[in-house]
Structure 1
Amino acid sequence: MSDRKNILFIMCDQLRYDYLSCAGHKTLQTPNIDALAARGVRFSNTYVQSPICGPSRMSFYTGRYVSSHGATGNFVPLRVGEHNIGDHLKPLGMRPVLVGKTHMIADQEGMKRLGIDPTSEIGVHHAQAGFEPYERDDGIHPDLVLKPGVKYNEYLKERGYDGHKNPWHWAANATEGAEAPRSGFFNDVANQPARVTDEESETPYMTRRAMQFLAEDDGETPWLLHLSYIKPHWPYIAPAPYHDMYGPSDVQPVHRSEVECEDPNPLAKLYQERISARTFSNDERREATIPAYMGLIKQIDDQLGILFKFMEERGQLDNTMIVFTSDHGDYFGDHWMGDKDFFHNPAVKVPLIIADPDPAFDATRGTVNDRFVEAIDIVPTFIERAGGTVPEHIIDGRSLMPLLRGEDVAWRDYVISEYDYFMQPFSPKTGRVPLECRTYMIANSEWKYIHAPGYSPMLFDLTNDPDEFVDLGRDPKFEDARKTMHYALADWSLQYRQRETVSEERAGQMVGLEDKFGVLIGYWDENDIEPPAQMPDYASGLENG
């Protein structure tokens, strides 16, 4: 074992927790991801802090809940100065590098207020969530706001796809069409191949870029490589041969009940009425689209096989922790919903596999851990892996290292997720201003409770209704359960998470600090003075403290 400890942090976008063969999918085979699980630990109860890209990823990159870091939506900046993954790892000598997507929105106003040049080293640090952007590409580049210099777009133009200024859209995520390219955002073409070849598509391109970085490894500086795939996120369009590798017979049965449509919670009903929900509540359309999603996952698994072989040949698997996960899931018609944005398991639960070659983790290889894990646990795991101490006054999550070592430790008994729906097209129908458009989920082994100000709560009995079909939020027989979960949510919300400038160690040293300085408030005379208090020495100021 080399003393140098590297980390390969792989994230897929919109990959459901149950769309891997090691997680039980009956027709989608993912042998390379399965092999990773066989030499590591698969955490089967992993939840994201928000069921949407931006806020979820900011929790992954800060180790903090959404209400802590404040980036509550996809286009809400992460405030400048928020401790990010680079702030925690760079002082430990680790180089955090990005290949792919982060969905990070820089706090341009904050940097301007503080006089930070966005192009400076510190400006780039804040704008990229602490990563060194070896290749930053979030995938979705609308024609009218396309930023110049996106390398993948330039690559496609060099390959001859220069008929449109946004080849990401019109080449990689479109089909040929009868007369002109057809956008892959329309799911009726999901069974057709993308205009690009397999080699030219996003996943192989990003894999090659990751291998280019790994080939430049100097063998001395430890790195964290965040390989963040854009897929299988929509547009659900795959290159040949992945576009028709699966068919309707491979699609798993939809997970929904007519009960969910009988007097639903008014907020849940708004989600059921979205366009994506209408599309995927149609079985024919669902079965025509999901095979492309499965093909994109299969392509990721194939590319990971290539990547792992490359690393093995270079000896890089011998000292690299590999983490595989997703930023959220996808409803695909389950619970009569589409896309993500709400709190049923298809959207808020994600895969997580961690494999580390260190012999300290031999006892847990090939196991499945069902403890409650949250996205915020990733950063503290990396800090401990890099030899640091987790700053508990900043980080909300917990290091997974004890679980990886097989230690029997006290652990959390609930998970939290948050979502602000103010950008949803239906939000004006609620009559609520943006600050009021927020939702919270708390779940333990017995109950899942959803709180949305202005609406009745939702409650699911996970013991008797693990499918989350029957909402007990308005059932008078379950008032006690609702109170218990609401109090638990309130207790969580009252946690003190904003004293970032004083560590717990420093807080202990500050006990009686004013008395040490000779600030003797309420003392009667000199006889009241006892340690840590001391007589004030006004001649020398506060030197005695």
Structure 2
Amino acid sequence: MKETLPPSPRALRNVLFIMCDQLRADYLSCYGHPRLHTPNIDALAARGVRFDRAYAQGSVCGASRMSTYTGRYVSTHGAMWNFVPLSVGQKTLGEHLRPHGVRCALVGKTHVEPDLEGATRLGIDVTQGEGLLAMEGGFEPYARDDGIWPPGFKVSGNAYCDWLRERGYVSDNPWHDFANSGRGPNGEILSGWQMRWADKPAAIEEPHSETPYTTDRAIDFMKEAGDTPWVLHLSYIKPHWPYVVPAPYHDMYGPDDVLPAIRSEEERQDAHPVLEGFRRDTASESFSRDEVRRTVIPTYMGLVKQVDDQLGRLFAFMREQGIDRETLVLFTSDHGDYLGDHWLGEKELFHEPIVRVPLIVVDPRAEADATRGSASDALVECVDIVPTVLEALGIERPAQWLEGESLLPLVHGHEGAVGKDFVVCENSYAFRDAVRLPIGQPVERCHMTMLRDARWKFVHFEDLPPMLFDLESDPHELVDLGRDPAHAAVREQMLGRLFAWLRARHRFPTIAPAAIEAWNRREREAGILIGAW
């Protein structure tokens, strides 16, 4: 369905960059879910382009987000996993924008870990100005909320927790005790960290839960922004666990709405040792039980539905204010959630439910009218978001920093715009001793890299056999061909493409290729003839 937009009296000047945490693409109705209807996200797709083959560059929150914020692959920026600091030497979206007078702010989660050691070594004051922004991943922390505070942990100085206390939710940790837990018959806390309570409503009024709170802060930002051009990263912490949602969303869906798990008994036989290690994880063992899936997935669906409703509220505000006609909108997720597929829970590996993410781009300008409401099957990546934002705002894209490509040629329907030959995702199981220790792998040899093209998905492991899936004949990735002698030539070809990709990483981030060429010309023109006879 195609939706037209009224013309704007002003040029495009803002960007709303929306990210959900742990949202599977196939849990949106515009991406095919038959029971979970998301009309506001669907309406967004009707106003723009829905990318059906978009891929994250990391299969955990931190690595994926750092790639999205820098426009660089994980191997290049180095923040391989959660809680790994993003080097102060990396350049992020905000640092590309601010010299051009564009305000770059955050509402919600980033998972950015500050490089305090690097800042100390360089004498950077991290309490104010550019030093503070560098520790926040380049974002002005308008309303940062990374959540995920453990039970019993005294929380002070967290804006959301302070806001809850002001509204009568009094405890050391109202994030856990109210927003992410239910109540038993005698008032006891039913912790959201235990999935057995997922079907109980959160002990909080719905308008006070995290998703409406985050939406409120986004509206506050837009009201206060005035005429200064802005990029707002609106980053919802849900539907990431703890799987708890307030009424009425807690029982909107039931066990009958849970789709069958994508898994087979055959894929458990002689499984890859890394895959087998992740299946020993507590979340995987839990989600392998039908009882757990029937309890948790309806709540996951409720969390997605609440996000969609809140986006409807935000989009209505933008229409009333005329903001939508001068704002580029991007909607995506940092990765998906196994929810029991392939006998797994959580994320970290490279099956489609994890690495394929929703990506919708809405450009309100007339140049995008030809593709409005369409779906693209081009292979694209989340590293393409920063180049897209810069091009949309008319800001030069520094080739030495960015490894992604702008999506605007695809959004504008340019002839010859076809996407990429392949996409890449990376992770490390160095942080998972249950995986690493049984196979005797040292920390520095735990890197794993996925390369996916139009047909094949190849996963390379150091010192271990690869994984290989034929997505043409096996779209659900149930048959691993990584050790099949008949596919040795395919594995060799994919390994060669991976090696070529590694050799093409950007080695000179602080100097542009054109500057290197200019230096060589100046040297010759100056008569510097090193080694001449």
Same fold per TM (> 0.5)? Answer: yes
Within a 5 Å distance, the mapping from 1:125-524 to structure 2 comes to: 125-142=133-150, 148-163=156-171, 165-179=172-186, 180-218=188-226, 220-407=227-414, 408-409=416-417, 411-426=419-434, 427-524=436-533
Q: Report if the CA contact (8 A) 1:89-1:386 is conserved.
A: no
Q: How far did 1:145 drift? A: 6.5
Report if aligned partners of 1:4, 1:222 keep a CA contact under 8 Å in 2. Answer: no
| SS of residue matched to 2:57 | coil
Shift of residue 411, structure 1, vs aligned partner: 3.4
SS at match of 2:378: coil
Superposed CA deviations along residues 462-520 of structure 1, whole A, max 9, x for unmatched, are 11111111001111111000000000111101114120121122122123443333322
Matched, 1:101 2:109: yes
Distance 1:157 1:29 in 2: 34
Residues 81, 126 of structure 1: 8 Å contact kept: no
**Unpaired stretches in structure 2, ≥5 consecutive residues:** 1-7
Distance 1:496 1:377 in 2: 15
- SS of match in other structure, 1:76: coil
Please tell me the residue identity of whatever aligns with 1:483.
E
Q: Deviations over 1:335-365 (max 9, x none)?
A: 1111100000011110011112111100000
1:54 aligns with 62
How far apart in 2 are the matches of 1:436 and 1:417?
Answer: 17
Q: Distance in 2 between matches of 1:115 and 1:35?
A: 48
1:92 to 100, 123, 127: 100
Most deviating of 62-71 and 124-133:
124-133
The aligned runs of 1:524-543 (5 Å cut-off) are 524=533
Equivalent residue, structure 1, for 2:124: 116
Separation in 1 of the partners of 2:418 and 2:278? 37
**Kept after mapping to 1: 8 A contact 2:59/2:350:** yes
Residue 236 of structure 2: SS of its match in structure 1?
Answer: strand
Q: Which residue pairs with 1:538 in the alignment?
A: none
Deviates more, 1:494-503 or 1:321-330: 494-503
**Contact 1:92–1:386 under 8 Å retained in 2:** no
Residue 69 of structure 1: which of 72, 77, 102 is its match? 77
Q: In structure 2, the residue corresponding to 1:110 is in which secondary structure? A: helix
Aligned-partner Cα distance in 2 for 1:145–1:50: 29
Report the AA paired with residue 222 of structure 1: P
Q: Separation in 2 of the partners of 1:306 and 1:168?
A: 23
Write out per-residue CA displacement over residues 54-80 of structure 1, whole angstroms, 9 at most, x where no aligned residue. 010000100000010010110100001
SS in 1 for 2:241: coil
For the residue of structure 2 that corresponds to 1:422, the secondary structure is coil
1:140 shift after superposition: 1.2
User: Given residue 341 of structure 1, which amino acid in structure 2 is its aligned partner?
Assistant: E
Q: Percent identity?
A: 50
TM-score norm. by structure 1 comes to 0.94
Structure 1 residue 4 displacement after superposition: 4.8
Q: Distance in 2 between matches of 1:143 and 1:82?
A: 34
Gaps of 5+ in 1: 525-545
Mapped partners of 1:401, 1:236: distance in 2: 36
Give the letter for the 1:35 counterpart: A
In structure 2, what is the Cα distance between the partners aligned to 1:170 and 1:234? 15
Cα distance change on mapping 1:470 and 1:418 into 2, 3 Å: same
Is the 1:92–1:387 Cα contact (8 Å) retained in structure 2?
no
RMSD over aligned CA atoms reads 1.3
